[in-house]
Amino acid sequence: MTEPHASRFALVFIFTTMFVDTVGLGIIIPVAPKIIADLTGPYASNAAAMSASAAWGGWLQTAFAAMLFLFSPLIGNLSDRFGRKPVLITSLLFLGFDYFITAISPTIWWLFVSRILSGIAGAAYTTANAYIADVSPPEKRAANFGLTGAAFGIGFVVGPAIGGLLGQYGVRIPFFAAAALAVANALFGLLVMKESLPPEKRRKFELWRANPIGSLVALKRYPMVLGFVGVLVLMRLAHDANPVIWSYYVYLKFHWTTTQLGWAMAFLGIVMAFVFGFLTRIAIPKLGEHNAAMIGLLAGAAGFAGYAFATQGWMMYPWMLVWALMGLAMPSINGIISRHVPGNEQGELQGALASIGGVTSIVAPVLLTTVFSFFTGTPFSVSIFGVTLLGPISAPVYFPGSAFLAAGLMLALAALLIMRLDRGEVPQAAE
Distance from C-alpha of 189 to C-alpha of 32, rounded to nearest angstrom:
29
Distance from C-alpha of 97 to C-alpha of 102, rounded to nearest angstrom:
9
Residues 289-316 have pLDDT tens digits of 888 989 999 999 999 999 999 999 999 9
Which of 194, 130, 143 shows the shortest CA–CA distance to 342?
130
Q: Where is pLDDT greater, at 390 or 394? A: 394
Kindly give, in sequence order, each residue whose CB lies less than 8 Å from that of residue 204, ignoring residues fewer than 6 positions away. Answer: 81
Q: Give the model's confidence band at 47: pLDDT under 50 very low, under 70 low, under 90 confident, else very high.
A: very low
Distance from C-alpha of 172 to C-alpha of 176, rounded to nearest angstrom:
7
State yes or no: pLDDT of 163 exceeds 80: no
State yes or no: pLDDT of 419 exceeds 50: yes
pLDDT at 62: 73
**In which region does residue 81 sit, left (phi positive, over 0), alpha (psi from -120 to 50) or beta (all else)?**
alpha
Residue 258: exposed, middle, or buried by beta-carbon count in 10 A (0-12, 13-18, 19+)? exposed
Kindly give, in sequence order, each residue whose CB lies less than 8 Å from that of residue 407, ignoring residues fewer than 6 positions away. Answer: 237, 238, 239, 241, 304, 368
Q: Give the model's confidence band at 67: pLDDT under 50 very low, under 70 low, under 90 confident, else very high.
A: confident
pLDDT at 383: 57
Please state the pTM of the whole predicted model. 0.64
Distance from C-alpha of 32 to C-alpha of 342, rounded to nearest angstrom:
41
Would the CA dihedral through 135, 270, 371, 70 be positive or negative?
negative
State yes or no: pLDDT of 175 exceeds 90: no
Q: How far is CA 270 from CA 21, 143, 256, 275, in A?
A: 17, 18, 20, 9
**Which residues, listed in sequence order, are joined to residue 384 by a DSSP beta bridge?**
387
Q: How far apart are the first and last CA of the chain?
A: 28
264-278, 291-305, 341-355: least confidently modelled range: 341-355
State yes or no: pLDDT of 381 exceeds 50: yes
Torsion of CA 66, 22, 280, 11, to 10 degrees: 100
pLDDT at 346: 60
What would the mean pLDDT of 65-78 be, rounded to a whole number?
Answer: 76
Going along 82-141, which residue ranges are E strands? none
What would the mean pLDDT of 196-210 be, rounded to a whole number?
Answer: 67
State yes or no: pLDDT of 89 exceeds 70: yes
Give the percent of the chain with pLDDT over 90.
10
Whether the Cβ atoms of residue 374 and residue 402 lie closer than 8 Å to each other: yes
pLDDT at 195: 76
Distance from C-alpha of 54 to C-alpha of 33, rounded to nearest angstrom:
7
Tally Cβ neighbours within 10 Å of residue 393. 11
State yes or no: pLDDT of 63 exceeds 70: yes
Torsion of CA 150, 153, 155, 161, to 10 degrees: -150
Please name each of the domains of the chain with its CATH number. 4-196+209-420 (1.20.1250.20)
pLDDT at 50: 46
Q: Where is pLDDT greater, at 231 or 128? A: 231
Distance from C-alpha of 219 to C-alpha of 96, rounded to nearest angstrom:
33
